[in-house]
Amino acid sequence: MIIRAIEPRDNKTVAQIIVETLAEYGAKGDGFASADPELKNMFAAYQLTNAAYFVIEDEGRILGCGGIGPLKNGDSATCELQKMYFRTELRGRGWGKKLIAHCLRLAKSYGYSKCYIETLPNMVAAQAVYKLAGFDYIPERMGNTGHSKCHVFMLKNL
């Protein structure tokens, strides 16, 4: 199993993983990542400066994904851990921790000093992984991600 940068051929599978995972948690429609326009071409969306997106691949099959990018309408020192989702069979196997560490190392190399994430209250296992990675809960939303229905906010100093 490997972590590698997203490629154009991954777009459809990545979008499917994101939409299906969010649906498991009842997160459908506007206000969730599943409604983001960049889902149509995730490869292109992460060709920005100081942004990167990765997939976890096992023998040609993509099992998870996640990345970092500038926090929309946030300060330039803060990035966002973005669209981190895993197929059921990958969860609980330590790959969340590995992908987060990979993303945070890159974020630091890009010059970010903080990393922000929004998630859902019922994504308890994901929150536990974020806590283990050093994220702390914060009381208010940062930036303007467009994910108005995500009500759990976390931040980590890099």
Cβ contact 4:59 at 8 Å:
no
According to DSSP, residue 43 is labeled: H
Domain count, the chain: 1
Q: Which domain holds residue 91?
A: 2-157
Residue 40: pLDDT band with limits 50, 70, 90: confident
Across 17-21, 83-87, 100-104, which has the greatest mean pLDDT? 100-104
| pLDDT tens string 97-156 | 999 999 999 999 999 999 999 998 988 989 999 999 999 999 999 987 867 667 799 999
Q: What is the pTM of this model?
A: 0.90
| 78-86 and 114-119 beta bridge pairing | parallel
| pLDDT tens string 47-84 | 988 999 999 999 999 999 999 999 988 899 999 999 99
CATH code for position 122 = 3.40.630.30
